[in-house]
């Protein structure tokens, strides 16, 4: 493989270029170090809202032509916002590289934020938020996260809270855009059938004229106090299916315990990899997973999943189960906690660890099977840590021992460190059936379709 080229322009823009000559395609991602953790009081959801606005045209690209520029080359485009970052992408034939760079330079420097567009997008986002009420699993996920975190802004949903979305102004949005969509808070990634020198020349021509911002404040977030006791949240609304979530405070991706816990999750619920863009779209191998056997094979749950996501600061490890019809959530919880306690006591075998390592390494290979996925991984990890973190992942996984997993499990899987959430459905027409519930968020990351 040709080594990745990395440079930083005079205005602070980081640029990563990876040559991949397997197909005549190129993927461009522009990453900004701004997500929901950067939002202040009254501004929750503003990062996601700005992401929407940056598809609404620029000074030199009419709003209806943004997607057409890429589609004329047979390409695709998208973007998403999550807790640590906002990203935009285009993947198209290699002769479209300069046009893709033009779009991202325009998005960085010349967003319009027309008042009419801001208002129409307010309606879209509020509808998106309220529509999430129909998904009890997402509703419970939001409430569990908000209960697990008392101080850190990871507690806020990416889409924001309703009252903030109702009161934010066009000036709030544009001011936030100008403070955060600047070259010295961004990383541009180019992966594909390109020559690195030529790609860097094109990047320099498009982005060097954009000035750095002297107003870009350093990212700071309140450190979450150590949890000192189990927390619980129970939602009761109309529904037919019960959901259980068990969340534990978990380390950031740079913590030495992250990879032992990633392998622990592979043993518990199946290996899932580290690519937020593609990893969770492919079901993990679960036939031998501990919690699958303890819950699904015994008929207590119809599905089981786990999520340990790579983040810049400590987030959550969440185990989720969908109760089988007629099975009380208390029974599902008891069986799940019993298996988690067995693991905490060190009851993982050498064979389970070896299988988890093999499956996880395979997932890492599969989720870097395209220029789009490679570019995602480089930019995502540069945003939360450093790009080399993902390159080092296979070796880090290979060195994990049973002792490492045991120590990490002992530290994380304690009652005082967990938050338990139930969605306990009410029978239609029951005495509490009309009771209102909290607003839901969409998926963990707010993706553009």
Pick from 183, 207, 231: which residue ends a domain? 207
pLDDT, tens digit (0-9, with 9 covering 90-100), for 82-92: 999 999 999 99
* Residue 444 forms part of a structural domain: no
Rounded mean pLDDT, 27-50: 97
Task: Check residue 216 and give its pLDDT.
Answer: 63
| Domain range for 258 | 241-424
What's the CA gap between 364 and 391, in Å, rounded? Answer: 10
Query: Is 360 part of any domain?
Result: yes
Res. 23: pLDDT tops 90: yes
Region 343-368: what's the mean pLDDT? Answer: 94
Residues 378 and 247 in one domain: yes
Q: How confident is the model at residue 103 (pLDDT cuts 50, 70, 90)?
A: very high
Residue 265 sits in the same domain as residue 373: yes
Q: Do the domain assignments include residue 157?
A: yes
* Same domain membership, residue 88 and residue 146: yes
Is the per-residue pLDDT at 447 higher than 80? no
The pLDDT score that the predictor gives to residue 431 is 52
Q: Are 111 and 53 in contact (CB under 8 A)?
A: yes
Q: What is the mean pLDDT of residues 417-446?
A: 62
Q: Which positions ≥6 away from 162 have C-beta within 8 Å? A: 126, 129, 130, 439
Average pLDDT, the chain: 93
Residue 226 falls within a domain, yes or no? no
The DSSP code for 438 is P
364-390 average pLDDT score: 96
Q: What is the dihedral of CA 85, 36, 449, 163, to 10 degrees?
A: -160
Rounded to whole angstroms, what are the CA distances from 369 to 2, 30, 244, 259, 396? 16, 20, 34, 22, 20
Give the SS3 label for residue 349. Answer: coil
- Residue pair 369/356 in contact (Cβ under 8 Å)? The answer is no
Q: Which two tokens stand for residue 64?
A: 């209806």
The arithmetic mean of pLDDT across residues 342-349, rounded, is: 92
The pLDDT of 203-225, averaged and rounded, is 89
| CATH at residue 270 | 3.30.830.10
Q: Are residues 175 and 280 in the same domain?
A: no
d(CA 330, CA 298): 15
Query: Is the pLDDT assigned to residue 218 strictly greater than 80?
Result: no
Q: Are residues 286 and 418 located together in one domain of the fold?
A: yes
CA pseudo-torsion sign 43, 45, 51, 53: negative
pLDDT score, position 442:
33
Are residue 285 and residue 147 in the same domain, yes or no?
Answer: no
- Domain end, chosen from 187, 207, 227, is at 207
Q: What is the DSSP letter of 209?
A: T
Residue 433: its pLDDT value, please? 43
Cα-Cα end-to-end distance for the chain: 32
Which helix or strand (DSSP H or E) is residue 186 part of? strand 186-192
Q: Please tell me the predicted confidence (pLDDT) of residue 444.
A: 43
Strand arrangement of the beta sheet that strand 418-423 belongs to: 231-235, 418-423, 243-250, 315-323, 301-308
In whole angstroms, what is the distance from residue 42 CA to residue 50 CA? 15
* Confidence band, pLDDT 50/70/90 cuts, at residue 440: very low
Residues 189 and 85 in one domain: yes
Cα separation, 27 vs 349, whole angstroms: 41
Give exposure, 71-101, as e/b (b: 16+ Cβ within 10 Å): eebebebbbbbbbbbbbbbbbbebebbebbb
**Is 298 a domain residue?**
yes
Q: How many CB atoms lie within 10 A of CB 361?
A: 16
Tell me phi and psi for residue 46, to 5 degrees: -70, -30
| Nearest alpha-carbon partner for 391 in 378, 375, 400, 401 | 378
Q: Is residue 10 part of a domain?
A: yes
Q: What is the pLDDT of residue 331?
A: 98
| Same domain, yes or no: 44 and 155 | yes
Q: What is the pLDDT of residues 408-423, one digit of tens each?
A: 999 999 999 999 999 9
Task: Specify the pLDDT at position 219.
Answer: 76
What residues are paired with 305 via a beta bridge?
320
Task: Give mean pLDDT, residues 3-28.
Answer: 97
- The residue among 339, 297, 136, 110 whose CA lies nearest residue 206 is 110
- Strand pairing of 14-19 and 186-192? parallel
Q: Name the least confident of 337-346, 417-426, 432-441.
A: 432-441
Which region among 155-159, 212-216, 354-358, 441-445 has the lowest average model confidence (pLDDT)?
441-445
Query: Cα dist. 159→51, 124, 164, 299, 444 in Å?
Result: 11, 11, 10, 35, 9
Helix (H) or strand (E) holding 314: none
**Residue 142 in contact with residue 437, Cβ under 8 Å?**
no
Q: 269 and 164, same structural domain?
A: no
Kindly report the backbone phi and psi dihedral angles of residue 401, in degrees, each rounded to the nearest multiple of 5, phi listed first: -110, 170
Whether residue 177 sits in one domain with residue 262: no
Rg of the chain taking only CA atoms, in angstroms: 22
Residue 296 lies in a domain: yes
> What band does 280 get if pLDDT is binned at 50, 70 and 90?
confident
Q: How many independent structural domains does the chain possess? A: 2
Same domain, yes or no: 198 and 265? no
Sequence-separated (6 or more) residues with CB below 8 Å from residue 298: 335
C-beta separation of 417 from 248 below 8 A:
yes
Question: How would you classify residue 357: left for phi > 0, otherwise alpha for psi between -120 and 50, otherwise beta?
Answer: alpha
In a domain, residue 145? The reply is yes
Residue 429's pLDDT band (cuts 50, 70, 90): low
* Angstrom distance (rounded) from CA 337 to CA 111: 50
What is the spatial distance between Cα 298 and Cα 122, in angstroms, rounded to a whole number? 46
Most confident among 126-135, 216-225, 388-397 (mean pLDDT): 388-397
Cα separation, 406 vs 256, in Å, equals 13
pLDDT at residue 435 greater than cutoff 80? no
pLDDT at position 437 is 33
pLDDT digits 0-9 by tens, 57-71: 999 999 888 888 998
Nearest to residue 154, comparing CAs of 271, 37, 76, 65? 37
Asked whether 53 and 117 are in contact (CB, 8 A), the reply is: yes
Banded model confidence at residue 215, pLDDT cuts 50, 70, 90? confident
What is the tens place of the pLDDT at every residue in 220-256? Answer: 889 999 999 999 999 999 999 999 999 999 999 999 9
Note the pLDDT of residue 133: 67
Q: Is the pLDDT of residue 434 over 70?
A: no
pLDDT-derived band at 443, boundaries 50, 70, 90: very low
What pLDDT, on the 0 to 100 scale, is given for residue 139? 93
Q: Please tell me whether residues 150 and 11 are part of one structural domain.
A: yes
Percent of the chain with pLDDT over 70: 94
pLDDT confidence band for 134 (50 / 70 / 90):
confident
């Amino acid at each position: 493989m040709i080594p990745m080229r990395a440079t930083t322009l005079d205005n602070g823009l980081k640029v990563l270029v990876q040559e991949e000559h397997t197909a005549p395609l190129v993927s461009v991602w522009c990453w900004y170090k701004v997500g929901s953790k950067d939002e202040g009081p009254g501004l929750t959801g503003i990062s996601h809202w700005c992401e929407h606005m940056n598809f609404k045209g620029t000074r030199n690209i009419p709003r209806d032509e943004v997607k057409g520029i890429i589609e004329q080359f047979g390409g695709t485009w998208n973007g998403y916002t999550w807790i640590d970052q906002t990203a935009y992408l285009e993947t198209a034939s290699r002769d479209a590289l300069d046009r893709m760079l033009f779009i991202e330079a325009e998005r960085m420097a010349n967003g319009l934020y027309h008042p009419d567009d801001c208002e129409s997008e307010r309606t879209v986002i509020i509808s998106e938020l309220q529509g999430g009420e129909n998904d009890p699993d997402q509703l419970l996920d939001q409430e569990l996260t908000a209960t697990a975190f008392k101080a850190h802004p990871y507690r806020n949903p990416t889409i924001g809270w309703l009252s903030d979305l109702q009161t934010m102004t066009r000036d709030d949005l544009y001011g936030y855009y100008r403070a955060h969509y600047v070259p010295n808070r961004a990383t541009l990634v180019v992966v594909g059938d390109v020559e690195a020198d030529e790609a860097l020349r094109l990047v320099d021509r498009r982005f060097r004229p954009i000035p750095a911002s002297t107003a870009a404040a350093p990212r700071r977030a309140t450190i979450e106090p150590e949890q000192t006791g189990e927390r619980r949240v129970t939602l009761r609304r109309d529904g037919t299916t019960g959901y259980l979530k068990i969340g534990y405070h978990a380390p950031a991706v740079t913590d030495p315990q992250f990879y032992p816990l990633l392998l622990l999750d592979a043993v518990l619920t199946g290996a899932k990899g580290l690519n937020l863009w593609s990893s969770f779209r492919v079901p993990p191998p679960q036939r031998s997973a501990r919690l699958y056997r303890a819950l699904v094979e015994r008929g207590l749950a119809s599905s089981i999943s786990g999520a340990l996501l790579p983040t810049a600061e400590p987030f959550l490890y969440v185990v989720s189960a969908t109760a089988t019809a007629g099975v009380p959530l208390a029974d599902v919880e008891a069986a799940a906690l019993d298996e988690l306690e067995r693991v905490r006591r060190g009851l993982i075998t050498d064979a389970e660890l070896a299988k988890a390592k093999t499956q996880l390494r395979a997932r890492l290979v599969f989720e870097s099977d395209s220029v789009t996925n490679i570019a995602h991984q480089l930019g995502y990890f540069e945003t939360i840590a450093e790009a080399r973190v993902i390159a080092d992942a296979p070796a880090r996984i290979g060195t994990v021992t049973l002792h490492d997993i045991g120590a990490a499990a002992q530290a994380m899987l304690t009652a005082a460190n967990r938050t338990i959430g139930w969605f306990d459905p009410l029978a239609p027409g029951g005495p509490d059936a009309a009771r209102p519930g909290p607003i839901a968020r969409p998926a963990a990351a707010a993706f553009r379709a």
